A = this chain, B = another copy of it.
């Protein structure tokens, strides 16, 4: 079985919304994320339901079937592995790879992605810290909480980003907030929820609550 580029992008979008907001996934949520019109989404939902990739009940949103979820997971696997390739091998920055991977994920081949996986030495996370499903579709959810949920004095490691826009990633670059950095909450400003952070060897950094809510961290269990 093989699906069109458009069908694949819909499946991936439904998967991502379901992951964040749960099921059922609404027509308008899909339209928003795909920058398309609800009417177009409805048309496509009928096709995907016809192919047993989603469960669809008129006016009540959709959820992926087993087959749909499996296909979506494979797309995510391909997207993230290609992002690794672009960053690790071709030297792209993490804010430049999404659009290209969005295309590369649709390349049809029974063997390509597994060979790429091996070539990259089977990475477990992509450049944005997102987990890469294995060939069977399995992946371990990253242990994570939002930076905005930490308290003063707590230490953590930056493990992922919730927002993937270029501007946001470039902002992080400019402030030396790369995946893996160690940080500590020095202060939480009560007025607007801004955070003052300590980064290794640097002056304290002030970030907005808005930013803190887009960063996933793994808390360091208070040593000793």
Total copies of this chain within the assembly? 2
The count of chain A contact residues (Cβ–Cβ below 8 Å) is: 18
Q: Please, which residue of chain B has its CB at the minimum distance from the CB of A82?
A: B107
CB of A21 within 8 Å of the partner chain = no
Chain B residues with Cβ under 8 A from A91's Cβ? 115
* CB pair A116 B100 closer than 8 Å: no
* CB pair B107 A103 closer than 8 Å: yes
CB of A104 within 8 Å of the partner chain = yes
Give, as a whole number of angstroms, the nearest-CB distance from A41 to chain B: 23
* CB pair A108 B115 closer than 8 Å: no
Q: Please, which residue of chain B has its CB at the minimum distance from the CB of A90?
A: B115
Q: Please, which residue of chain B has its CB at the minimum distance from the CB of A114?
A: B90
Complex partner residue of A112 from B100, B108, B115, B119, CB under 8 angstroms: B100
A residues 63-119 touching B (CB-CB < 8 Å): 86, 89-92, 96, 99-100, 103-104, 107-109, 111-112, 115-116, 119
Chain B residues with Cβ under 8 A from A116's Cβ? 90
Complex alpha-carbon distance, A99 and B109, angstroms? 9
Chain B residues with Cβ under 8 A from A115's Cβ? 90-92
Complex A-B, nearest 7 residue pairs according to Cβ-Cβ distance, in ascending order: A90-B115, A103-B107, A100-B109, A90-B119, A100-B112, A89-B119, A104-B107
Q: Please list 11 pairs of residues, one from A and one from B, whose beta carbons are closer than 8 Å in the complex, sorted by A's number.
A: A86-B112, A89-B119, A90-B112, A90-B115, A90-B116, A90-B119, A92-B115, A99-B109, A100-B112, A103-B107, A103-B109
Residues of A within 8 A of B (CB): 86, 89-92, 96, 99-100, 103-104, 107-109, 111-112, 115-116, 119
